Amino acid sequence: MSSTGRKIHVLGAGLVGPLMAVYLARKGFQVELIERRPDMRKTDIAAGRSINLALTARGIRALKGVRLAEEVMKIAIPMKGRMVHDREGHTQLQPYGQKPEEVIYAVSRGLLNMLLLDAAEKCDGLNITFNRRCAGYDEKTGALTLQDEGTGAQETVETNVVIGADGAWSALRKSMMGAVENFSYAQDFLDYGYKELVIPSAADGGFLMEKHALHIWPHKSFMMIALPNTDGSFTVTLFYPYKGENSFEKLTMEAEVTAFFSEYFPDALPLMPGLTQDFFANPTGALVTVKCRPWHIGGKALLLGDAAHAIVPFFAQGMNSGFEDCAILNAMIEGDNPDWQAVFEKFSAARKPDTDAIADMAVENFTEMRDSVTDPRFLLKKKVGFEIERRWPEKFIPRYSMVIFHDEIPYAEARRRGALQAKLLEKLCADIDSPDDVDWRQAEKLVGEML
Amino acid sequence: MSSTGRKIHVLGAGLVGPLMAVYLARKGFQVELIERRPDMRKTDIAAGRSINLALTARGIRALKGVRLAEEVMKIAIPMKGRMVHDREGHTQLQPYGQKPEEVIYAVSRGLLNMLLLDAAEKCDGLNITFNRRCAGYDEKTGALTLQDEGTGAQETVETNVVIGADGAWSALRKSMMGAVENFSYAQDFLDYGYKELVIPSAADGGFLMEKHALHIWPHKSFMMIALPNTDGSFTVTLFYPYKGENSFEKLTMEAEVTAFFSEYFPDALPLMPGLTQDFFANPTGALVTVKCRPWHIGGKALLLGDAAHAIVPFFAQGMNSGFEDCAILNAMIEGDNPDWQAVFEKFSAARKPDTDAIADMAVENFTEMRDSVTDPRFLLKKKVGFEIERRWPEKFIPRYSMVIFHDEIPYAEARRRGALQAKLLEKLCADIDSPDDVDWRQAEKLVGEML
């Protein structure tokens, strides 16, 4: 086979692109990794972007596949559960799981990206080019047009296989949309935007709130969260409606912002000296779900990660599902001369139901985070669910745990099993107010019948 | 108020555009109706387009609103139900409703379009311009760029209000997508295409099959239908997968087409002398659902009909929902100087849940038409449903009847009530095989409890 045949172009050196590039290079492919932005290791990260995120089992497993998990864990902070803050400043920890290892990890997006770029650069046969925008892709010839972001000069390169890991607003997907007949596509925005803020570290570099938790201030129709950073700070994110009575459009002056935080986040306000400045300096981000089909053009081009399935952040599975894509695709690439069309078809068919499922669950989970976590019925069912898992672990795993901790359970299966479990919990908890009142004979019967 | 303020530009002189234009002109607005194609009354209709369709209560009501229903009825053929054809050529009529007036009407798209154009032209203050493509809309200034399809010359006109009734691939929507932040949009294609064919009239001009029925040849994974035309012919439409074992891609030669029709549509084949020629001459159409949000830009521009909500044809509600849009919007426009922003917001908020509902029900109904109509359980429930409607008409109306005959019930309500009714029928028919075996005491109890 010719050397062009062994060459793969990967678009996007964000999180998913470099990981896929490393997977491919370690399989012996020659990889051209192409990124629109400058090398982030040499310039500042763009302001206002999500600057930390939660790494969970699926992502960790994919990192293990290229022996990068250990290194990533060095910059990861375990979070044991949700620390729920009320308007009096009281807090309550709601554990994510019930085993010691059932934690999720806060990781700096920037540090993780740099680590992945470093790892990619060390691979034989892997070349990274920055400052090149994908300005077009010809699906007939495989010609990829790249534009130098500095000079504006365009060059056209021949490609054998192109993998678009170029994010929610993928340029490759845009080309596919124009070229592929009957291309199904959906971009679905929530009525909410988000604003990133910061709680800096203490004077001594320590944490001003519990380090090992994901903090939530739930207010039914909106919420704020905070994740720890290794430097002692927290990245704070306010999720708030764009319009209406309580919304971003009503927060136009410093006094309004301060009053709003004083009312709803009284314990956070004193920890945020730069609040009003950040609030007006940082952009309001949008929350979008992107679905599309097909993900590939024959054996020539494939979309991966956010480019194929961008999701909202409320299940912390954006990066994790993208990383999982890499491991799953990698496992389907066999031999030196794979039948790429067959690989891409198999990958799409296997993966799309799962990414559709996590997309929908992520939207649902917004309601859980901003509203249900303060609902006694929700908390009762959560506790009863953990107890059922203890008693019948083969039959019942809480949906949250399936998604977050059980990388062997595909997302679609987690959703399917989760729906049955929700019905079971509904029946079991209908007439009780405490986990102590559960009728365990009935529980055993229902578990046997329903699951 | 200035005369510009009373001027409304309507894009698209298909079915919905002219009807809306007539509504607006009769309210005293000055209406500019702009159409990309030539005047269809003076040229041939484009081949391969859906050339007849079913008019139902919602569409008729909207036509009555401008006193056009009587005239339309002159070119309409009542269809009492589905005439289901099996592979032995046997037929069975499944009535749509159970009252004499519960029929739907086959209407030629072309004749209806011409009738609406004639009606529009007769309105004072209504001007129609053909051969003008919408080449852009500036949402800030309201400037509309129109391109002469003959000469390519562009002109820019000032607008006060633009209504885009320019179809599933609306040019106005395309402009909005680029201009409106966080514009949610979905185009969702089925894996099926459609091919239009014909059963000509008999030598004496009569009908070769039952005139007053919508004919269906259901084959579980695919189907063919036929609707009568006033000239004695039937427009036949084959809905068939694009790809796979049984699909369009396997029908590439005349002998394959004939063998396929001989196997699945044996009674239709002898009635279709032009089959193979039509099959390869006519394009394969796509089946797409389009949803978007918002439908309007302030009080300046609004999408209507397919431009706002294109749906698949399996509930025959594409045109009917578009016509209903016109009547509902018209009822919300009050006074000589309406607050267009308020009108468009009210219209979108009221209407979007309904058009989302019919979009989803239309996709579901494909399964009903190609598969369920031969299922004894489905037919049993249909009969039991009619009987429940006879006994408790205030409580129970079959979902199909709500959508098709009950224009006073919004689509979303039809879906909601339909779901409850489906559960009730499931319970009531679980252990019986005949409508005679229904436990009517239980039925009364369930109707009281569930509906």
Print the SS3 string covering chain A: CCCHHHEEEEECCCCHHHHHHHHHHHCCCEEEEECCCCCCCCCCCCCCCCCEEEECHHHHHHHHCCCCHHHHHCCEEEECEEEEECCCCCEEEEECCCCCCCCEEEEEHHHHHHHHHHHHHHCCCEEEECCEEEEEECCCCCCEEEEECCCCCEEEECCCEEEECCCCCCHHHHHHHHHCCCCEEEEEEEEEEEEEEEECCCCCCCCCCCCCCEEEEECCCCEEEEEECCCCCEEEEEEEECCCCCCHHHCCCHHHHHHHHHHHCCCCHHHCCCHHHHHHHCCEEEEEEEEEECCEECCCEEECCHHHHCCCHHHCCHHHHHHHHHHHHHHHCCCCCCCHHHHHHHHHHHHHHHHHHHHHHHHHHHHHHHCHHHCHHHHHHHHHHHHHHHHCCCCCCCHHHHHHCCCCCCHHHHHHHHHHHHHHHHHHCCCCCCHHHCCHHHHHHHHHHHC
Nearest CA in chain A to B294: A189
Confidence class for position B69, pLDDT limits 50, 70, 90: very high
Q: Per-residue pLDDT tens for B315-350? A: 999 999 999 999 999 999 998 899 999 999 999 999
Chain A residues inside the 8 Å CB shell of B185: 185-187
**A186 interaction partners in chain B (CB closer than 8 Å):** 185-188, 291
Fold of B188-286: D-Amino Acid Oxidase; Chain A, domain 2 (3.30.9)
- Whether residues A242 and B182 touch (CB distance < 8 A) is answered with yes
Q: Nearest-CA residue of chain A relative to B289?
A: A184
DSSP letter string, B304-363 = -THHHH---GGGS-HHHHHHHHHHHHHHH--SSS--HHHHHHHHHHHHHHHHHHHHHHHH
Q: In the A/B pair of chains, how many CB contacts fall below 8 A? A: 32
From A354's Cα to the closest Cα of chain B, the distance in A is 18
Q: Which CATH superfamily is domain A7-76+106-187+289-363 in?
A: FAD/NAD(P)-binding domain (3.50.50.60)
B184 chain-A contacts, CB cut-off 8 A = 187-189
- A54: tokens are 């939660």
Is B186 within 8 Å of A181 when comparing Cβ atoms?
no
Chain centre distance of CA A4? 33
Q: Could you give the residue range(s) of every CATH 3.50.50.60 domain in chain B?
A: 7-76+106-187+289-363
Which residues pair with residue B234 across a beta bridge? B199, B228
Task: For residue A330, give the nearest of A56, A14, A61 by alpha carbon.
Answer: A61
* Residues B21, B32: Cα–Cα separation, whole Å: 8
Select the residue of B185, B189, B286 nearest A187 (Cβ to Cβ). Answer: B185
- Among A187, A191, A287, A360, the residue to mutate for chain B (most B Cβ within 10 A): A187
Cβ of B181 and A286 within 8 Å? Answer: yes
Residue of chain B nearest A182, judged by CA positions:
B189
> B449 Cβ partners below 8 Å, 6+ apart?
none
Phi and psi, residue B343, nearest 5° = -60, -50
CB within 8 Å: B185 and A186: yes
- CA of B292 to nearest chain A CA: how many angstroms apart? 9
Element (H, E) at B194: strand B184-199
| CB-nearest partner of A185 from B182, B186, B286 | B186
Q: Which of B189, B190, B248, B356 to mutate to test the interface with A (most CBs of A within 10 A)?
A: B189
**Domain(s) of CATH 3.30.9.30: residues in chain B:** 188-286
Task: Determine the pLDDT at residue A1.
Answer: 39
Return the residue in A174, A184, A292, A348 with the most chain B beta carbons within 10 A, the one to mutate for interface testing. Answer: A184
Residues of A in contact with B188 (CB under 8 A): 184, 186
pLDDT (tens place) for every residue of chain A, 451 residues total: 344 568 999 999 999 999 999 999 999 999 999 999 999 998 865 543 458 999 999 999 999 999 999 999 999 999 999 999 999 999 999 999 999 999 999 999 999 999 999 999 999 999 999 999 999 999 999 999 999 999 999 999 999 999 999 999 999 999 999 999 999 999 999 999 999 999 999 999 999 999 999 999 999 999 999 999 999 999 999 999 999 999 999 999 999 999 999 999 999 999 999 999 999 999 999 999 999 999 999 999 999 999 999 999 999 999 999 999 999 999 999 988 999 999 999 999 999 999 999 999 999 999 999 999 999 999 999 999 999 999 999 999 999 999 999 999 999 999 999 999 999 999 999 999 999 999 999 999 999 999 9
> Could you tell me which residue, A186 or B6, shows the higher pLDDT?
A186
Q: What is the pLDDT of residues B364-381, one digit of tens each?
A: 999 999 999 999 999 999
Contact: B185, A184; criterion CB under 8 Å: no
B5 pLDDT band, cuts 50/70/90, is low
10 Å CB burial of residue A28 (0-12, 13-18, 19+) is exposed
For residue A349, give how far its alpha carbon lies from the nearest alpha carbon of chain B (Å): 14
**Substitution target from B180, B182, B192 for chain A, most A beta carbons within 10 A:** B182
- The CA-CA-CA angle for residues A433, A435, A437, to 5°, reads 70
> Cβ(A183)–Cβ(B189) under 8 Å?
yes
- Residues 6 or more apart whose CB falls under 8 angstroms from that of B11 comprise B17, B34, B134, B162, B163, B164, B165, B166, B170, B171, B172
Q: What is the ipTM of this complex?
A: 0.88
Q: Looking at the predicted structure, is the pLDDT value of residue B180 above 60?
A: yes
Interface contact flag, B184 A184, Cβ < 8 Å: no
Nearest to B188 among A181, A186, A286 (CB): A186
Q: What is the pLDDT of residue A5?
A: 65
Tokens of A127: 């070349």
SS3 B30: strand
Q: Would you list which residues of chain A are within 8 Å, Cβ to Cβ, of chain B? A: 181-189, 242, 286, 288, 291
Instruction: Using an 8 Å CB-CB cutoff, list chain A residues near B182.
Output: 189, 242, 286, 288
Shortest CA distance from A177: residue in chain B: B187
| Dist CA A215 CA A212 (whole Å) | 9
Chain B environment of A183 (Cβ under 8 Å) = 187, 189
Residue numbers in B near A181 (CB within 8 A): 286
Pairwise CB contact (< 8 Å): B187 & A186: yes
Q: Which of B181, B183, B188 sits opposite A184 (nearest CB)?
A: B188
Contacts of B288 in chain A (CB under 8 A): 182
Long-range contacts at B330-336 (CB < 8 A, ≥ 24 apart) = B330/B20, B330/B23, B330/B24, B330/B27, B330/B65, B333/B24, B333/B27, B336/B1, B336/B6, B336/B28
Cβ pair B242:A185 closer than 8 A: no
Q: Which of A184, A188, A189 sits opposite B189 (nearest CB)?
A: A184
Closest-CA distance of chain B to residue A63, Å: 33
State how far residue A287 is from chain B, nearest Cα, in angstroms: 9
- Test A187 with B187 for CB contact under 8 angstroms: no
Structure tokens given for B220:
């579980």
Give the residue on B whose Cα is nearest the Cα of A191.
B182
Which secondary structure element, helix H or strand E, spans residue B63, and what is its range? helix B57-64
In terms of CA atoms, which chain B residue is nearest residue A289? B184
Chain A nearest C-alpha distance from B345 (Å): 14
Interface test with B, best of A169, A174, A182 (most B CBs within 10 A): A182
- Does residue B313 surpass a pLDDT of 60? yes
3-class DSSP state of B184: strand
Instruction: Give residue A46's pLDDT.
Output: 54
Pick from B174, B188, B242 the residue to mutate for testing the A interface (most A CBs within 10 Å).
B188
